[in-house]
Amino acid sequence: MMKHKVAARLASVAAVSAVVVGGTVALAPTASAVGSSACTKNVANYDTQTDTTVKFRTGPGTGYTAKGTVGEGRWVYVTCTAKGGAWAFLKVTSGPHKGETGWIADKYLAVPMQTS
């Protein structure tokens, strides 16, 4: 517990010192999760698979946090797209992230499966 307080205090002192000396401290903003609110086009909902292992993200773009990876051949259920169709919002229906929703770059999805 004491180590954590000391480390936090040292980080604060270093940040203040950098500003006082004329430097700046750059804090990289992180993109927050957006879920389906970022959808720009609804699609006919469909099941498909990933054609490679791919990062599963909190929003449509590489600037969003990766929730983990979805393995090759895992089933997903696509509901909408964003950024000109380049990103798909979906629900993972198999594997470790089963039941979770998020974003995957569309280029990593297999051709939609046809049902009869």
pTM comes to 0.68
Q: Is residue 24 in a domain?
A: no
What pLDDT, in 10s, does the model give residues 10-49? 444 444 343 333 443 333 345 678 888 899 998 888 899 9
In a domain, 2, yes or no: no
Structural domain contains residue 70: yes
CB neighbours of residue 60 within 10 Å: 25
Query: Does residue 29 fall inside a structural domain?
Result: no
CATH code of residue 46: 2.30.30
Phi and psi angles of residue 72, each rounded to the nearest 5 degrees, phi first: -55, 135
Answer yes or no: is 19 within a domain. Answer: no
- For residues 49 and 113, give the distance between their C-alpha atoms in angstroms, rounded to a whole number: 8
Give the residue numbers spanning the domain of 91. 35-108
Question: Does residue 71 belong to any structural domain of this protein?
Answer: yes
Q: Is 27 inside a domain boundary?
A: no
Write out the H or E segment, with its range, that includes residue 16.
helix 2-20
Q: Is 51 contained in some domain? A: yes
The count of structural domains within the chain is: 1
Residue 112 is predicted with a pLDDT of 53
Give tens-digit pLDDT for 100-116.
999 999 999 996 544 44
